[in-house]
Amino acid sequence: MLRTYAKIVGILLFFVGLVGFANLIKTVLPTDLFHMAVGILFTYLGFLQRDVEVVRKVVGGMGVLLLVVKGAVILTPLLWGGAPLHGPIEITCLVVGLLSVLAARYSRDGASPRQGIK
């Protein structure tokens, strides 16, 4: 289940970055590159990585990274007296970050806790 989640999120984030890079939505180049890089990493985890514990740790870590980075992007304008930035891409990445942390924590992929008990 966690690898399927990584596949879906990876493809979604890569295409968000690609659409921004093609100027179909209004974004800046560093944002597009960030989304494509995170999408490629998630896609690698979903399609090529076989160790579920590695997938779990990286998905959780990337979820925290997305929460911190996008939280900072949204809240930084408040420092200069502006309104918080709340575009659809920022909100989507916040949701993906939160879901990634939850998926890494509560997904039932891999060995069950009772498997080692005999």
Mean pLDDT score of the chain, rounded to an integer?
Answer: 89
Separation of alpha carbons 31 and 45, rounded Å = 21
Using pLDDT thresholds of 50, 70 and 90, give the confidence band for residue 113.
Answer: very low
Residue 109 corresponds to which tokens in the numbers above? Answer: 């992929």
Residue 101 has what pLDDT?
97
- pLDDT, tens digit, for every residue of 21-62? 999 988 889 889 999 999 999 999 999 999 999 999 999 999
Separation of alpha carbons 43 and 3, rounded Å = 9
Percent of all residues in the chain with a pLDDT value above 70, rounded to a whole number: 92
Q: Which residues contact residue 38 at a Cβ distance below 8 angstroms, ignoring those fewer than 6 apart?
A: 13, 62, 65, 66
Place of tokens 């990286």: 58
pTM as predicted: 0.84
Using pLDDT thresholds of 50, 70 and 90, give the confidence band for residue 2.
Answer: very high
How far is residue 19 from each of residues 7, 11, 33, 92, measured CA to CA in Å?
18, 12, 11, 14
Using pLDDT thresholds of 50, 70 and 90, give the confidence band for residue 100.
Answer: very high
Residue 74 has what pLDDT?
87
> What would the 3-class secondary structure string for 23-50 be?
CCCCCCHHHHHHHHHHHHHHHHHHHCCC
The full set of domain ranges for the chain reads 2-106
